[in-house]
Structure 1
């Protein structure tokens, strides 16, 4: 068995353990659990090397939405927030190449934004502007919904 397949198996096992601890023992934050469930690299949870690494850090390549993509979108949103020029979701989608672009398509942007929302990033006015009525697809409304561990975490 190749090293890649072994690492994938270890990632799958770690993913199940994180989700189980979150659902059954109330471990980890909602944002961290959501990231593992949806395959969004949990960028905000990276350590700086001065403490033991978090479980996700050695599995960077196995997340569907890669670290560099999460970082690029979050840095863009932070810059726009600081400039008081928050985009609507559709403007965000246009900025990153449209809804079908693999790395930054609609589902990836929704996943990254939901992770940021669940982490408590930005403020209410930011999220209100991003989700301006008639300026986002209906599925983006999910970004600012409360997280329900019992019903949003699946063991598959």
Structure 2
């Protein structure tokens, strides 16, 4: 895991003049024949480019499904989502949540972290349990409910 914390200037403890933090949570289907090496390249590229864009988040991949939670400045996230929509490595993008608010980052230390599908529930529970604002707790609780109800496919099956 990438554990170097970077202040992006949009976190509540960063001082006055806070910018809202925009987040998008989506899932998509991997293209036929996608190799693990392609997923590794996605993570490597994200870790190189996300810090300069002020983007943090996590990517879960399992059973042919991507699940991603990204957060940062609206313009950076919208630009990234445009790139993701054109990426041939996946299709059928479904936005699960999209919000903009002044709040703490949920994954401040992760420029992009690959989480195994079997671990997604633990990651979401940990993020919920350490979140300090009600909106983040609510969003994470909803995702956990969707995961437990089977609405996110085979991801996190237990």
Same fold flag (TM > 0.5): no
If asked which structure has higher relative contact order (CA below 8 Å, sep 6+), I would say 2
Structure (1/2) with the larger helix percentage: 1
Structure (1/2) with the larger strand percentage: 2
Larger Rg, first or second structure (1 or 2):
1
User: What's the TM-score, normalizing by structure 1?
Assistant: 0.29
